[in-house]
Chains A and B, each alone.
Chain A
Amino acid sequence: MNKARLLLNRTVPAVAGAAAAIMLFAGCGGASVNQSAADPAADGAAACGTVNVAMNAWVGYTANAAVYSYVAKNELGCTVVQKDLNEQISWQGFASGEVDIVIENWGHDDLAKQYITDQKVAVDAGATGNVGYIGWYVAPWMAEKYPDITEWENLNKYASMLATSESGGKGQLLDGDPAFVTNDEALVKNLNLDYKVVFSGSEAALIQSFRTAEQNKTPILGYFYEPQWFLAQVPLKKVNLPAWTEGCDANAEEVACDYPEYKLNKIISKKFADSGSPAAKLAKSFNWTNEDQNAVATDIQGGMMPEEAAKKWVDANEDAVNAWLN
């Protein structure tokens, strides 16, 4: 008797719960708000679907990606997924299907060989229209006070001035994120410079260091690049390294010449390129100037959300956007 009652006590709520669950799930079935609300949108965007955009960590890249994403989302009705990844890892994403597009690629011949030529998982989607320069820069006040510092032969003269507590008695050459394209260690060694490369860790840290150096008139020598919104605020001066010639940077450990001029391009995954998606077509036709990128990047840096900054630029440049879409 007692046992039976206990059994009853246990089973009744369980059965009730299970029944409720079955009823609920049977009731809703596949008709969730996710699908039903999506249906009308799906008609317009049937061919587009989802685009995975890799987000590399510098503001210029963010500007490209923001405008591309904005247009893909609002003009083509695509679903855009942005993934924060560094450069090398992004390329690995072409193979796994995690990444469809890298929208500003700086050279990376080794990766291009591995993923475009050998594995055939990615394709070059043409130039972004931006031209990139990488180099060594000094704060403007230094170029004024020490005019000859912009020639690499004279750098050793200033090594002791540029020494910091991090550089072990040598001059400090401040680099960015370890993931950025850089030959600086090899350059220092092969040009017999009395410098040590110190990594600041990110674009933001580099910019902060240059800004403080200019404000407080403290010496600084660092890795930097164009197009860059920051150069409009603090016009850093580039140091001339031995001129770049074809093939002088073929062996990474023996580089003794300047960085080449980078025709920045877009890389998209093979699958995405072959899918016939309008977003893939947009990726191929996306093209703008360094000024355009700097305009968007400055807005983002000024505190605008990337999407708002993109909207502002797209609204002001409808012709350019229409040219991409047609």
Chain B
Amino acid sequence: MSVLVRDRATAQPAPFPSPSRTLEPRRRPSRRTILLASAVVVWILGFVFLHGTSTLTLPASELTDLHRSLNQFNVWVAANRADNPVFLYVLTPLRAGVDAVANLFITTFAASSTGLRLPEIGWLGTVGLLGWIALAIGNARVALLTVTILIFFGFQGLFLEATYTFALVVTAVLLTLLVGIPLGVLAGVYGRVAKLITPVLDFMQTLPTFVYLAPLALIFLIGPASAVIATVIYAAPPVIRLTAHGIRGIPENTREASDSLGTTGVQRLLTLQLPMARRTIVMGINQSTMAALSMVTIAALIAAPGLGQVVVRALQSLDVGTAVNAGLSIVLLAIMLDRVTTAASRRAEPGAARNRRVSRRTRYILLGMTLVLALVMVQFSRTMLWAAAFPANLDIGRVIVQAVSSASEWTQANLSLFTVSFREAVTTGILNPFQSLLTETPFYILVAAIALAAYALGGWKLSALTTACLGVIIYLGLWSDSMVTLAATLVATTVVMVLGIVFGVAMGRSARVDQIMRPMLDAGQTMPAFVYLVPFLGLFGATRFTAIIAGIIYAAPVAIKITADGIAAISPTVVEAAVSSGSTPWQVITKVQLPMARQTLALAANQGLIYVLAMVVVGALVGAGGLGYDVVAGFVQSSLFGKGLAAGLAIVFLGILLDRMTQAAAATPARKIPSPKTSTT
């Protein structure tokens, strides 16, 4: 995506802002500015004069008729599970099939259901086998990394949990590929399929994971099977998109050359398109694997065994030590899966074979020998108890837990005055006033103001779309909750943008800062959201503020990266011209670099918003109100099931609204460029 950003930034004509030119538009504000300003005026006037009327508030325990009828779905499923043909012939066999695959991997790596509940392959065998696989598809370095990380899980006392999670991720990734690659190929080959499938993928990626967790648990019952199905839904879009992208990206003349040799469609696919798209497809597998890991963690809420369960338990008991220990495992597992699949994608690069240091022959001999070693380890782990279950006396997990716990207790005891007063200041000073500005203005005033702003940004079409989205939210009976969520989202996005600009500019201006920051940002993005909630919960308590922080941590890396790319892409001659004309660094940043990266900034804001919105529901686990709370409550209280479902839909429509509006703001008034939607984790 960074490539696209760079293209756009450089594609702009680069007008050097001379004083006379910049003054001109200031005297006569554009139509757009007037319209936007009037939208704000309508809103403020509405707030001041009609304060507190028509706010469409619905208390958290109350339902509308729509919610009650959605609740009926719950009852209907329960009543029809045994005899409805859809359940009998489609859903129940599907569940049984997925369950069988999941159980196969769970028995192999984690625990069997008989005897001592030891897995088919004990810890030593798992280390050997996975290390060998990493060597075979990647290289020696990632193999070593894999072995080290796996053994470290043992020392953490979490080997069993980690293998459960691993088994579920493997199951989910296999099924994802089974579904995703054929779909991706179809979408790549036939443009019509791509058009049909893209909105569905968009929808799948904006829909918060929690929303389909509840209905899935209802239909497929709780347990590994529904966890895997939920994970497949979450992890499939990246691989479908990237497969299609890889196939479409093959140069036209290459295809024609192949066609001129008289290849049939299937031949072309097998001999040209798939091999040439191989690297992109493996990249898709990488993305899907990372998505699968973060979803498997959340699926602990519907009885998916593994590390997620440990984190959930720690969240419940505010046990920072345990959460950090388990979180560390998740991060390490993420690093392991990421590095191995990345190494595999490098290996898949055309021409990679020629640049290798070892000859093919040595490599095969090496692989053969290590395979024998791995198999010996497997054999040991099946016959010796010490190699089957990781020795408990090597467990230093408790030490880690206690050390972190006492550190966090110290922090809480000594910083609580500071953290609490900071939280209170932000909440009463910024969040509450802004929230009441949104929730206490009559709904029709806000709809009018938003429609006006949408018209200013994108014309009638956008205006109609936003009004329709807001209409749906009102129909869902969740207007007030949506405004609470919107307030929190906008506050979080503002902070994200400030961070994005500060760090993005620093990174864009200095390669050294970039080098230091980038790995940290990557780590922030690979870490599943669940993990870092607990320490912040300890520091700030379960409040909207904590939820906002969670959203900021999740979204800031994306915004920073996009901004940095945009700043770095500005032609150095322009910057030099400004410097040589005597501008201070501050002037260069504010007068040249930021204005020229305006579109990139809007794109960063767009992505930041979408990422913050994706965290709304997870934030509700640590005290966010609004739609996120409705979703969580619908998940845990059957009487609120329908409301939770409606709230999930409301989040999607809010997402569409914010996405389209920021996209329109990012596009130049003259020609609209659709901004790319990333499918990153």
Contact = CB atoms under 8 A, between A and B. Distances in A.
Interface of A: 9-10, 12-14, 16-17, 20-21, 24, 27-28, 31-35, 37-39, 41-42, 50, 55, 57, 79, 83-89, 92-93, 95-99, 110-111, 114, 118-119, 165-166, 168, 177-179, 183-186, 189, 197, 199-205, 208-209, 252-253
B427 to A, nearest CB: 4
A138 B63 CA distance: 30
A27 B122 CA distance: 17
A17 B432 contact: no
Given A10-B364, A83-B303, A208-B541, 5 more contacts: A14-B364, A55-B313, A83-B309, A85-B303, A205-B537
Interface string B582-605: 000000000000000000000000
B20 interface: no
B368 A14 contact: yes
Contact of A34 (B75, B368, B388): B388
Given A87-B636, A199-B629, A38 B222 contact: no
Contacts of A85: 222, 303
A120 to B, nearest CB: 11
* Candidate in B60, B81, B309, B423 with the most chain A CB atoms within 10 angstroms: B60
Contacts of B61: 183-186, 189, 252-253
B352 interface: no
Contact of A189 (B59, B78, B432): B59
A325 B368 CA distance: 56
A38 B114 contact: yes
A35 B312 contact: no
Interface stretch (B314-322, B496-504, B670-678): B314-322
B621 A17 contact: no
Given A86-B636, A87-B636, A166-B544, A178 B629 contact: yes
12 contacts: A17-B368, A21-B371, A32-B120, A83-B305, A88-B636, A96-B221, A98-B221, A119-B78, A168-B436, A178-B629, A178-B636, A204-B318
Chain B interface residue bracket vs A: 35 or more
A96 B365 CA distance: 48
B11 interface: no
B376 A88 contact: no
Contacts, number: 190
**Cβ-closest 6 pairs across A and B:** A38-B115, A13-B368, A96-B221, A185-B61, A179-B636, A34-B118
Chain A interface helix/strand/loop/mixed: helix
Nearest to A32: B382
Given A24-B379, A98-B221, A88 B637 contact: yes
Nearest to B383: A33
Nearest to A50: B113
A21 B121 CA distance: 14
B361 interface: yes
B322 to A, nearest CB: 12
A197 B629 CA distance: 12
A228 to B, nearest CB: 14
A252 B116 contact: no
Contacts of B62: 185-186, 189, 253
B318 A208 contact: yes
B632 A178 contact: yes
Contacts of B581: none
Given A24-B379, A32-B383, A84 B364 contact: no
A203 B79 CA distance: 34
A179 B221 contact: no
B9 interface: no
B301 A37 contact: no
B233 interface: no
Interface string B635-668: 0111100000000000000000000000000000
B344 interface: no
Interface string B103-122: 00000000011111111101
Contact of A57 (B78, B316, B379, B544): B316
B577 interface: no
Nearest to A166: B543
A34 B303 contact: no
A37 B532 CA distance: 41
Contacts of B317: 57, 202-204
B37 interface: no
Contacts of B629: 178, 199
